[in-house]
Chains A and B, each alone.
Chain A
Amino acid sequence: MNLFQAVTSALDNSLATDPTAVIFGEDVAFGGVFRCTVGLRDKYGKDRVFNTPLCEQGIVGFGIGIAVAGATAIAEIQFADYIFPAFDQIVNEAAKYRYRSGDLFNCGRLTIRAPWGCVGHGALYHSQCPEAFFAHCPGIKVVIPRSPFQAKGLLLSCIQDKNPCIFFEPKILYRAAVEQVPVEPYNIPLSQAEVLQEGSDVTLVAWGTQVHVIREVASMAREKLGVSCEVIDLRTIIPWDVDTVCKSVVKTGRLLISHEAPLTGGFASEISSTVQEECFLNLEAPISRVCGYDTPFPHIFEPFYIPDKWKCYDALRKMINY
């Protein structure tokens, strides 16, 4: 399956096993602008897979209400770039529902899905990676898969998780990424990073599409520099797996974090700050962040904006030679 088919499969499994589950958002009825919901309305009915008016604050607010009433709500925001009208509902409402009510009420059955990340021509409003805005919000979980197999397992875990979750889907991988994905449901745990490749000299951390970039950088480092890299996919942004990353940095002494989102205030700042607190004496070099520039996401300049393998390689080389 490709990534969007893996998402469809997860949604199909969810609607099959949970009679309360519903999917809604803009254009989901005909199959969605990225085909993630194709066939589901025919299979499960128009009361379970339906379009909403064009209103993100409504979509998320409505989803919270469904979840509060005890049903499973799977909301789609058409692009992560458009999640901001729903920011109040997510941060002030969904994230705080259980805490503020003393656990009398909660909206744990809410999952929000949105296409995320650069796509080659998306520019300002079809390329954003807003995970850092949500990382600062206790009470929600933010999850980003790197591949179809990961997407299905992580999405199922988000849907079943007892807390409101945001699931960002790297849109550039929707069709491009293809792998074997089981048709039956399976779960990949949240808040657990995955070490894709063990190494001894440098720890590389990324999530979503960027994981593939750092994997390639790891190969380049091995070939050109004889350097052994440990590659980690963070997978869950919050609550994040501090232990796996720190354990790795204790071993390697060097950390490079890379994300498309702008450098300042990006999630690499949080990782960097924590790692220097926990692993200060193990560090052989300053922690390196290879990120997007502090600009809106440009259109024609995308090839220059993105933290590509050359920038990551260059930063790695400097770290090794520090």
Chain B
Amino acid sequence: MAVAFSAARMWRRSRGLGPAALLLLRRPGTRGVTTSHPCRQQQQFSSLDDKPQFPGASAEFVDKLDFIQPNVISGIPIYRVMDRQGQIINPSEDPHLPQEEVLKFYRSMTLLNTMDRILYESQRQGRISFYMTNYGEEGTHVGSAAALDSTDLVFGQYREAGVLMYREYPLELFMAQCYGNMSDPGKGRQMPVHYGCKERHFVTISSPLATQIPQAVGAAYAAKRANANQVVICYFGEGAASEGDAHAGFNFAATLECPIIFFCRNNGYAISTPTSEQYRGDGIAARGPGYGIMSIRVDGNDVFAVYNATKEARRRAVAENQPFLIEAMTYRIGHHSTSDDSSAYRSVDEVNYWDKQDHPISRLRHHLLSRGWWDEEQERAWRKQSRKKVMEAFEQAERKLKPNPNLLFSDVYQEMPARLRKQQEALARHLQAYGEHYPLDHFDK
């Protein structure tokens, strides 16, 4: 195949550059179509006209020097539907959900809480390697999940197990992933709580924070192009919102007009870092308008407020192809993870306040009780039943073998490269000779 070089003399010297400058040739007149932006008008150029002509901002001139004071004293208000006793404050905001649905909220949140207690304990006992609880944030998960279609794609961070719980992910599979046993659809590859479920449209969790944010935007763009009438929801914490990927995701979602809900769980801490050290502005909701994004702050411990906001955001995101930002204020009652002891950086009193006085589960229970949709007897029976379900799944998960070690090597690529197959064979031979030093008895043959 003859390759003709137009600057053949290039090769006579030692590969210096010919006259062609290939860098960044911005020729005037080769710009493509002008971008159509809904709020920018075509400026008529005229020397008599004193209005600003800058392409970068649509604003008037001002002749007084004044810096904008960021409004942090009274920030964006927090939308709520119920008071702390579970009473609807403004009846017109009551979502009027049927009893069965609200009971499903309650059961999802409490089952999650029960599972969290047992699995946290199982880590302390050395049965699983790691765990993260969802204490205090159950309302953010269930309220938002309930407002979505079951086929809406979910990108999470790591503290959204209630979304999967609401979508009826079996306890067996939560446990399988935490134990990394052979029933784990993730094939035992990741640390506990890194769930994923294709059938329930829950993208597998990854540890790096905020990486899911621009990914969720891309998925939303694809859904828009496919006319899927689908929204993508992307969960992240207030700490992850400091990452560059968050900025990237917000900006892309707005400029590319994507049907996405950004759902920030502002729970007060990123491991030990309080919000006062995470940001200096008015939380995450205040950033939305900076990107041109519709934004709201809600009481994350009020499952109906979360529901209403997500429902409306979903409706409009799909109808109008624009992003919505919901900042759900809540509190992380548990430690960051089993590797954390939060008494090192916050008082027990502070934690107790949230556990006892402002908990999404208690608030919903009060609401249910006051409507006559629940009572103490049902509570007792449900606690017993849910504990039994969790314990059964737990015991089963304990007993199962881990996956075959061959699964260490698959899925790196869709097809296994020859070199990797050789490595797989090398391990097999190694185990034949040295197998006694490896925990092969716990693994599927």
Chain A interface residues (CB < 8 Å from chain B): 20, 22, 29-31, 33-35, 41-42, 46-48, 50-53, 55, 57-58, 60-71, 73, 85, 88-89, 92-93, 96-106, 108, 118-122, 126, 138-139, 141, 147-149, 162-163, 171-172, 174-180, 191, 212-213, 216, 239, 242-243, 302-303, 306, 308-310
Contact = CB atoms under 8 A, between A and B. Distances in A.
Nearest to B36: A46
B197 A104 contact: yes
A179 B4 contact: yes
A175 B22 contact: yes
Contact of A102 (B4, B7, B153, B189): B189
B430 interface: no
Nearest to B15: A308
Contacts of A141: 413
Contact of B185 (A20, A88, A104): A104
Given A97-B204, A177-B3, A309-B15, 9 more contacts: A20-B222, A55-B252, A89-B211, A101-B189, A121-B23, A163-B413, A178-B6, A179-B4, A306-B15
Contacts of A64: 214-215, 218
Given A65-B216, A93-B208, A176-B18, A98 B414 contact: yes
Interchain residue pairs A-B with the least CB separation, the first 4: A120-B17, A65-B218, A61-B214, A58-B248
Interface stretch (B25-33, B119-127, B360-368, B379-387): B25-33
Contacts of A53: 248, 251-252, 255
A66 B17 contact: no
A58 B7 contact: no
B22 A174 contact: yes
B38 interface: no
A62 B434 CA distance: 45
12 contacts: A20-B222, A33-B26, A42-B33, A58-B245, A61-B248, A62-B252, A99-B189, A119-B17, A120-B18, A141-B413, A212-B11, A306-B15
A95 to B, nearest CB: 8
Given A52-B255, A85-B244, A88-B208, A65 B215 contact: yes
Interface string B213-224: 111111111110
Contact of A30 (B23, B31, B203): B31
Contacts of A46: 33
B43 interface: no
A57 B214 contact: yes
B-side interface size class: 35 or more
Nearest to A121: B17
B117 interface: no
A162 B33 CA distance: 33
Contact of A22 (B25, B217, B225, B414): B225
B141 interface: no
B10 A176 contact: yes
Contacts of B219: 65-66, 68-69
A62 to B, nearest CB: 4
B412 A138 contact: yes
Contacts of A22: 221, 225
Contacts of B4: 177-179
Contact of A57 (B197, B248, B411): B248
A29 B32 contact: yes
Interface-central residue, B185, B214, B216, B220, by most chain A CB under 10 Å: B214
Given A57-B214, A176-B6, A52 B16 contact: no
Interface in B180-223: 184-190, 194, 196-198, 203-204, 206, 208, 211, 213-223
A85 B6 CA distance: 35
Interface-central residue, A55, A69, A88, A105, by most chain B CB under 10 Å: A69
A102 B411 contact: yes
B233 to A, nearest CB: 13
A126 B24 CA distance: 10
Given A102-B411, A176-B20, A239-B417, A65 B214 contact: yes
Given A58-B252, A65-B216, A99 B412 contact: yes
A312 B25 CA distance: 32
A88 B211 contact: yes
Nearest to B19: A120
Contacts of A30: 30-32
Contact of B211 (A61, A71, A101, A308): A61
A139 B14 CA distance: 37
A178 B1 CA distance: 11
A33 B25 contact: yes
Contacts of B221: 22, 62, 65-66
A171 B196 CA distance: 40
A62 B23 contact: no
A73 B10 CA distance: 36
Given A171-B22, A174-B22, A93 B413 contact: no
A155 B288 CA distance: 38
A216 B11 contact: yes
Given A57-B245, A163-B413, A179 B2 contact: yes
A303 B196 contact: no
A41 B33 contact: yes
A229 B426 CA distance: 34
Given A213-B15, A239-B417, A61 B213 contact: yes
Contacts of B155: 65
Given A303-B14, A306-B15, A100 B194 contact: yes
A66 B222 contact: yes
Contacts of A61: 211, 213-215, 217-218, 245, 248-249
Nearest to B244: A57
Given A30-B30, A30-B31, A122-B23, A176 B417 contact: no
